[in-house]
């Protein structure tokens, strides 16, 4: 029950971040809703398709869509009057990432998949919605572009979750600690501007 | 039978609009075919994957691909000699949108899904092909960008279709009226330049 | 066994070409890995989803991911010290294309699909990973843009493969000859700069 509420909260946070990103591109109202929906459910949808999990989670339980529509409407109304609180939002987004990633990893775990696939499915669930948002906005996805420890935090969190279970921790405790790793890494990266190194080839090598 | 012919007509119209869009980007002949195919079958394919409907409609019945190839070839030949008739095409596209959207909604209906999902599946079937076309052409999808009542018409049409059934209309009549709502809204939007309001955040809020 | 090794080689080659493409965009290390993975397994994944083949090939056999990670790591290390050998890479890529395309066609063949679908599935397996790579890098996919006989070679190879079987060749021989057609066409196109004609509409027709 708490997990379900947290999941809905994660969807709402991701919808808000999608709506704000859309607002910077001057889309129309429907466009904003589309981007918010894609950001919030894109990762989980891709995971369900890859794992052949049907019905896809939001088809089975449309309350997700209702939450997204409500969060988007509130975002549009709120930003008419005030500046969006970017610090609060980044923090909420870090928790959304933590939650989506570990819940995605747990769904992959139930299908008895190998560890590398569980890590990948967790990361896909956490970040693919943001990637799709950026593709629709015709930008190179932010998680690829800047070395700002986003997908990296997700990957580290799932690895921690798997190792903790291996050394004897109970599944729920391992999940909570895995989420903690993601949120802490992500918040640390935001606070201190940590980045991954960039891999860059000189242009004369192109073609 | 008539529905099937209308469906093929819708595919042809969407293929033509894809080919014309590709022509503006100076793609090679194969690129034009790819864009035409994606525009015409992208929405229905995405719907079938989400609903786990296999085989995907054009894998089961490849006549769709033959129609697309023929429509694309005729478009390329025709535009060698004449200007494409943009007014006629926009009108045809409006009917294609109407048809695809309602037929997508009906397929979702057969799986006993909730109303919000039926509306979404109808809209996805109608507009996702155009979204994929624009993503491949590295542009922000036109349905997000301009408030020109495109996806909005699709959504209104499915809602009308569902309400009409609820108040006692027979399914086929409701479908025809739903298509009418979409085509009329879309043509009205084209004729009078109706738009949705734009949601725009000042740039200092970005980051 | 040999086919499996060739398949892994194809994945490695595509991962390298993805990593090099990412390097030109100055992505961070994780971004490079993501682009390499998408380039290498995108086409096969899309084919498996369309054909409802589950588990998806790299979920069933994660060694593909290990090979991709190793190939990407070696690419990053190698390019620290030397210029990437573009000629050798293009040649390797031609063989990767040949192999992926024919193996994709064979998987479609096992599901008793019509010839046009087999050709399409072969081509999708061969080229969709590169298309996804370019979409993520916010570029119009190279196979659409330049008429450089890439997808065309894939299509011709599958057609040759099907015709050869029809006229009595044994399946393995037909497969080898089909791969040969693809590799030769592709290498010829590179060597002599062969292209398809471009389809271009004057801009006054847009809108």
* Residue of C111, C115, C143, C144 best to disrupt the B interface, most CBs of B under 10 A: C144
What residues of chain A lie within 8 A of the CB of B144, using their CB? 22, 27-28, 30-31, 34-35, 136
* pLDDT tens per residue, range A137-188: 888 887 777 666 888 899 999 999 999 999 999 988 999 999 999 999 988 8
Cis amide bond preceding A55, omega within 30: yes
Examine the pLDDT at B204 and tell me if it is beyond 60. Answer: no
What pLDDT is stored for residue A110 in this prediction? Answer: 87
pLDDT (0 to 100) of residue B190:
82
Q: What is the pLDDT of residue B69?
A: 94
Query: Are C140 and B24 inside 8 Å of each other by CB?
Result: no
- Taking contacts as CB-CB distances below 8 angstroms, the residues of chain C near B24 are 201, 203, 205-206
B145 versus B106: which is more confidently predicted? B106
C62, pLDDT greater than 50:
yes
Query: How far does the CA of residue A117 sit from the closest CA of chain C (Å)?
Result: 6
- Test A62 with B195 for CB contact under 8 angstroms: no
Give the Cα separation of C107 and C123 in Å (integer): 12
Question: Which residues of A make CB contacts under 8 Å with C?
Answer: 49-52, 113-114, 116-117, 120, 131, 135, 138-141, 143-147, 151-152, 155, 195-201, 203, 205-207
User: What pLDDT is attached to residue C132?
Assistant: 93
* % of residues, chain A, pLDDT over 90: 44
**Which residue is it, tokens 């991962």?**
C15
> Considering only A193-207, B13-27, C190-204, which range has the smallest mean pLDDT?
A193-207
Q: What is the pLDDT of residues B101-116, one digit of tens each?
A: 998 999 899 888 999 9
Which residue of B56, B130, B144 to mutate against A (max A Cβ within 10 Å)?
Answer: B144
From A39's Cα to the closest Cα of chain C, the distance in A is: 15
- pLDDT tens sequence across C81-122: 877 776 777 777 888 899 899 989 998 998 889 999 999 999
Tokens at C203, concatenated: 């801009």
Asked if A197 and C49 come within 8 Å (Cβ–Cβ), the reply is no
Q: The pTM is what? A: 0.89
**B166 pLDDT exceeds 50?**
yes
Q: Which chains touch C (3 or more CB pairs under 8 A)?
A: A, B
- Give the pLDDT confidence of A12-61 residue by residue, as tens digits: 988 988 888 887 777 888 888 989 999 999 999 999 999 999 999 999 99
Judge if the upstream peptide bond of residue C55 is cis by omega within 30 degrees of 0: yes
- A contact chains, 3+ CB pairs < 8 A: B, C
Q: Which residues of chain C neighbour A144 with C-beta distances below 8 Å?
A: 22, 27-28, 30-31, 34-35, 136
What's the CA gap between A95 and A108, in Å, rounded?
20
| CA nearest neighbour of A203 among C23, C85, B87 | C23
Interface test with A, best of B46, B195, B201, B207 (most A CBs within 10 A): B201
- Average model confidence (pLDDT) for chain A? 86
CB contact under 8 A, B136 and C138: no
pLDDT of residue A188: 87
What gap in Å lies between CA C122 and CA C126, rounded to an integer? 6
Torsion of CA C85, C90, C91, C97, to 10 degrees: 140
* Residue burial A132-144, b: 16+ Cβ < 10 Å; e: rest: bbbbbbbebbbbb
> Is the Cβ pair C201, B49 closer than 8 Å?
no
User: Three-class SS string for chain C?
Assistant: CHHHHHHHHHHHHHHHHHHHHHHCCCEEHHHHHHHHHHHHHHHHHHHHHHCCCCCCHHHHCCHHHHHHHHHHHHHHHHHHHCCCCHHHHHHHHHHHHHHHHHHHHHHHHHCCCCHHHHHHHHHHHHHHHHHHHHHHCCCCCHHHHCCCCCHHHHHHHHHHHHHHHHCCCCHHHHHHHHHHHHHHHHHHHHHHCCCCCEECCCHHHCC
Chain B residues whose CB is inside 8 A of the A84 CB are 201, 205
Write out the two tokens for A140.
């190179």
H-assigned helices in chain B: 2-23, 29-50, 57-60, 63-81, 86-110, 115-136, 142-145, 151-166, 171-192
pLDDT number for residue B151: 86
SS3 assignment, position B28: strand
Give the burial class of A81: count Cβ atoms within 10 A of its Cβ; 0-12 exposed, 13-18 middle, 19 or more buried.
Answer: exposed
Q: What is the predicted pLDDT for the residue at B7?
A: 82
């Amino acid at each position: 029950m708490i997990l379900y509420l947290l999941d809905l909260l994660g969807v709402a946070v991701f919808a808000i971040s999608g709506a704000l990103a859309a607002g910077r591109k001057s889309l129309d109202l429907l466009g904003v809703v589309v981007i918010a929906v894609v950001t919030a459910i894109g990762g989980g949808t891709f995971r369900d398709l890859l794992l052949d999990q049907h019905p896809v989670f939001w088809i089975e339980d449309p309350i997700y869509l209702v939450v997204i529509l409500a969060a988007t409407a509130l975002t549009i109304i709120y930003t008419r009057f005030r500046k969006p609180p970017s610090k609060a939002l980044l923090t909420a987004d870090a928790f959304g990432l933590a939650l989506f990633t570990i819940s995605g990893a747990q769904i992959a775990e139930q299908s008895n998949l190998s560890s590398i696939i569980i890590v990948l499915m967790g990361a896909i669930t956490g970040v693919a919605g943001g990637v799709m948002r950026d593709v629709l906005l015709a930008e190179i996805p932010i998680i690829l572009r800047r070395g700002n420890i986003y997908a990296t935090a997700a990957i580290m969190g799932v690895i921690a979750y798997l190792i903790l279970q291996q050394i004897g921790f109970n599944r729920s405790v391992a999940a909570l600690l895995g989420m903690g790793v993601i949120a802490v890494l992500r918040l640390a990266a935001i606070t201190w501007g940590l980045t991954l190194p960039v891999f860059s080839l000189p242009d004369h090598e192109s073609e």
